[in-house]
Amino acid sequence: QQQVKQSPQSLIVQKGGISIINCAYENTAFDYFPWYQQFPGKGPALLIAIRPDVSEKKEGRFTISFNKSAKQFSLHIMDSQPGDSATYFCAANHHNAGNMLTFGGGTRLMVKP
Amino acid sequence: EAGVTQSPTHLIKTRGQQATLRCSPISGHTSVYWYQQALGLGLQFLLWYDEGEERNRGNFPPRFSGRQFPNYSSELNVNALELEDSALYLCASSPSWTQYFGPGTRLLVL
């Protein structure tokens, strides 16, 4: 059972545009929602994370929006750059129930120059 | 500060053999997690070790096992390798909420 659904699977954005990736979860016990960026041949790198008591978190060009009632969260990449081209994974975990991450299926982002 | 390290970077085995993968966590982190990233299957949780004990395991058969040493480094063992075990195996360490990943070991089973 996939508990975190991520969309779209792939995304092409022009340089300077906004990239938006969405995730929806089922388990209301999840209490931590990180986003990871992965380049080919590398391990995932933590980008930004949010807890459900906050509706939005911004770090540089990256913003997470969180809608607890809808059980959805999204990543916005402002002023997208070719160097942002990578695969992005949303994830969720339940800190007091093992803390293991449940990942979305990933979004392959390509930013065209 | 050094990140999570994994060895070897690549491993080639044949069906039925055993594979051993190693992970060194970030200094001060006591929890180590193992994930499998197979083509088309995304990232799936395998095992969680904390303070030398196995705390949780994902939906994988018993031939996937491991251990954590007193210095918090960890080893993942895969016995009786099957072709579908070919994947990138990722180790992550955590001080609490956040997990930091290593570069992975790419296992190819022929």
Taking residues A61-74, what's their average pLDDT?
Answer: 96
Domains of chain A with bracketed CATH: 4-112 (2.60.40.10)
Per-residue pLDDT at A1 = 46
Taking residues B58-84, what's their average pLDDT?
Answer: 97
A69-85 pLDDT, tens digit per residue, is 999 999 999 999 999 99
Per-residue pLDDT at B30 = 93
Tell me how far apart the alpha carbons of residues B62 and B81 are, in angstroms, rounded to a whole number.
12
A1-50 pLDDT, tens digit per residue, is 458 999 999 999 999 999 999 999 999 889 999 999 999 989 999 999 99
Range of the domain at B56: 5-109
Q: Above 90 in pLDDT, residue A97? A: no
Total count of domains within chain B: 1
Residue of chain B with shortest Cα separation from A41 = B103
What pairs with residue B67 in β-bridges? B75
Tell me how far apart the alpha carbons of residues B86 and B13 are, in angstroms, rounded to a whole number.
9
Q: Which residues contact A6 (CB under 8 A, 6 or more apart)?
A: A21, A22, A23, A89, A90, A104, A105, A106, A107
Mode of pairing for the β-strands spanning B105-109 and B10-13: parallel
Taking residues A92-102, what's their average pLDDT?
Answer: 83
Q: What is the CATH number of the domain that holds B67?
A: 2.60.40.10
Residue A89 Cα distances to A34, A108, B45, angstroms: 8, 9, 14
Q: Which of B41, B46, B91, B99 to mutate to test the interface with A (most CBs of A within 10 A)?
A: B99
At residue B107 the predicted structure's pLDDT band, cuts being 50, 70 and 90, is very high
Q: Above 80 in pLDDT, residue B40? A: no
Q: What are φ and ψ of residue A5, in 5° steps?
A: -105, 130
Positive or negative torsion for Cα A103, B45, B61, B105: positive
At residue B61 the predicted structure's pLDDT band, cuts being 50, 70 and 90, is very high
Chain A residues with CB under 8 Å of a chain B CB are: 32, 34, 36, 41-46, 49, 89, 91, 95, 98-106
Contact B97 A49 (CB under 8 A): yes
